[in-house]
Structure 1
Amino acid sequence: GKHAAHFNEYGDGEPRTDVDKEELASARIDAIATIVNLACAEENKALMASHSGLLDAVTTVARNDPSEEAREHAAIVIMNLAYEDENKELMVVHAHMLETLVRLIQDKSPFTRRYASAAMFTLACVVGNTERMASFCDGEILECLRRVLSEDPVDEARINSAEALFNMTRNNTEETVQRMGDHPRFLATLARAVLTDYSADVRIYCARALEWMSADVHYPMNCHAMLLSALTVSAQWTKTSCIAEAMKTQATLAENRLPMAAHDGLLQALSNLALLESLTDSDVRKSAIAALEMISREPRARPYMVKNEQVMTALTKASFATGDGEIVLDDFDESSTTGRMIKRALKNLAGSL
């Protein structure tokens, strides 16, 4: 804003004394704290975001102020204003907003990183913002969110980043999907978070992001093999049906079936899901069986399947109950959807045995 020139020197160019610097720093902190209070009121948010010069001033403080407290306050203002639906698109097209968020999400203050990541996931809720955010500076926002997800010790920062990435995968265009899938280590980071993050919220957001990506990334896209690797890794976490659903979604397209069967470890991961025995795993199990059945429709995929002992075990075990009548996997009935799928899969594979 118009006061930016005074951050380091007076308007006449003369250096400040230490006392002057301290007083001005205190005044800046007080001013931005006042804006924080104003931005907390719902009725103020739209008016503040559209006010001439206010976003300029806030983003300048956020990018340039040496005071950690001032930067933290600026991040709170941006987060609060982003919560207003009317502001979301306006803020993303602001000349310095995305650059500012990139800086804030890498700030040394864990509070500032948390507020910046919250602003990002909020802004990413809008379909029109996703492409701009994903393409900003050749994927700089994607990389910042990926790093926070994989490295930040603050749970809430990782949760916010995971939700931002989920929102970006959900509100996408074909070009944005390709950009995200091709981004270095993006899919691998999602998979690792699903498998190892301490936060259940992080795990589920990342699993849902992979599920959404699976609806749009297909063979022969460059990132298809990376997606299959991510699904193979994340399938080890069985507390969600998202990964099994993602594999089922992939298998619905004929062009994906051979790459899935040939991908290292994928059939093993899928059969592991099909072999889950708990009643709470019913949805996971049924999706996995459905995926196996669809893959078996591809003649070139069948040799991979019949050579995989665990695939055959999963399909045959799912087709019967134990001798004492206890149900092993599903209450198998040829008239049921799952029963028909198992029967078709075994019939498809019989000729390749």
Structure 2
Amino acid sequence: MKVNKQYCGTTAKGDLYLISLENEKGTSVEILNYGAIIKSFKVKAADGKEVDIVLGFDNVDEYFSKEYLSNYPYFGAVIGRYANRVKGGKFKIDGKDYQIAQNQNGDCLHGGIEGFDKKVFEVIGYTALPNPTVTLRYISSDGEEHFPGNLDLYITFELNNENELSYEFKATTDAPTAVNITHHSYFNLDGGATTIGEHLLTINADNYLEQDSNYVVTGNLIPIASTAHDFRTERTINRDMDPEEGYDQSFVIANPGGLALAAKAKSKETGVQLNVFTTEPVVHLYCGKYIPEIKGKNGVKYGPFHAFCLETQVHPNAINIPSLPDTILRPGSVYSTRTVYKVSNGNQG
């Protein structure tokens, strides 16, 4: 079991560090304290070769390039203070109206103009035993992107010998505020060079959430039976997928409670399988329609549909829909969620 912290340079927001976690099975993960980005997630394929299953860049500097930021897809970053879209960038808490940033067709997307994905987190601590872990901290100040309250957020990543990479969010506030945090890793279990249509996918959901024309959740549940969204039994992603749109949809996890299975994905080429477990009630499937044509790791050219995301969270826009779960965090309460990525290749657990 190994952990290593490497200095990567300094920005106006603080020093950059890359923390590497490695278990005894040869699985390794690199976490950047900028955006809490999962920079790499390397596992053994069925033939024993190493495959990096997340999109991103070889060099840290590339996450700051104009080419990347001008067509920004949030590669591998934490998303907050509020994931996905908030209708009109508006919400109400205790009778008071709040207008947060409107950065996507008049709505607020992924926390606003500069969300947690572009923040430098403090490296609180890291350890190799009993499992490699790292804990990051970011304090989001009152009024940031016009959200109320100071939010004190901790993220702990852990890689164990069961080939499980977990991340846990914990946050507190000094004033009532809206919170719904997720992580935006882009997965390609073939290593990123090809599109993901032939990946096999299962989603543990009986319903998905209706969206308006701007992809904002309305609050209505739609049964997935006999629709293109029915992934209850394993099938390829592209079997019923609109080839122009892909999928960009929130699925309500069946029988949530505790740490529940949300989804499973598998590569026919490498044999790598990814199981996603979470304490959250929703998993959002996004198939990368807007991934820019850009050079990624090892000179591989990325583009639309070169990866999928399985973003665990509370129902998007829930802050505006009383019938959906409460996403108001209040002083004295702790926001706490946990998601686990378990990888295997048919030869190892």
Q: Same fold (TM over 0.5)?
A: no
Name the larger-Rg structure. 1
More helix by share: 1
More strand by share: 2
Which structure has more relative contact order (CA 8 Å, sep 6+)? It is: 2
**Which TM-score applies when normalising by structure 1?**
0.19
